[in-house]
């Protein structure tokens, strides 16, 4: 089945530790995105990528890093510089970037908790 796969579903991070969230899509979409969702707030864009080996900062990129070495994959690293990382993280993709007129498809999300 075509879709977006995020892993792990649940992740716990210790203080000062970097963690990486995986996102893989087999929809042959050019554009991929990472969003963060906090209770009572709308989704906020962390990073997005329109093509392989290119990515752009979103509204809340500080403390996060990404890579886009393959079309299908867009991993997100939450670094120790992100002071409040506990949230629900959503990976998404669309046929083409940058978001123009295309429906965005979301993965199932990953819960990150700081312990």
Residues near another protein (CB under 8 A) are 4, 40-45, 88, 90, 92, 98-101, 103-109, 111
| Residue 28 or 96 with smaller CB distance to another protein | 96
Q: Who contacts 62 (Cβ-Cβ below 8 Å, separation ≥6)?
A: 81, 82
> Smallest distance from the beta carbon of 58 to another protein, in angstroms?
10
| Residue 62 or 108 with smaller CB distance to another protein | 108
Give the count of alpha carbons within 13 A of 58, CB side only.
21
| Residue 9 or 83 with smaller CB distance to another protein | 9
**Quick one: 80 exposed, middle or buried, by C-beta within 10 A (0-12, 13-18, 19+)?**
middle
- Where b means 16+ CB within 10 Å and e means fewer, 39-52 reads eeeeeebbbbbbee
> Smallest distance from the beta carbon of 93 to another protein, in angstroms?
11
| Residue 44 or 71 with smaller CB distance to another protein | 44
> Smallest distance from the beta carbon of 78 to another protein, in angstroms?
18
Helix (H, G, I), strand (E, B) or coil at 33: strand
> Smallest distance from the beta carbon of 107 to another protein, in angstroms?
5
Q: Please tell me the distance from the alpha carbon of residue 18 to that of residue 107, in angstroms, as a whole number.
A: 22
């Amino acid at each position: 089945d075509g879709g977006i796969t995020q892993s792990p579903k649940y992740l716990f991070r210790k203080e000062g530790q970097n963690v990486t969230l995986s996102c893989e899509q087999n929809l042959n979409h050019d554009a991929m995105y990472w969003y963060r969702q906090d209770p009572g707030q709308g989704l906020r864009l962390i990073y997005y990528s329109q093509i392989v080996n290119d990515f752009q900062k979103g509204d809340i990129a500080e403390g996060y890093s990404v890579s886009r070495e393959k079309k299908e994959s867009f991993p997100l690293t939450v670094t120790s510089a992100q002071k409040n990382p506990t949230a629900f993280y959503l990976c998404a993709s669309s046929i083409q970037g940058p978001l123009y007129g295309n429906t965005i498809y979301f993965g199932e999300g990953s819960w990150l908790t700081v312990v």
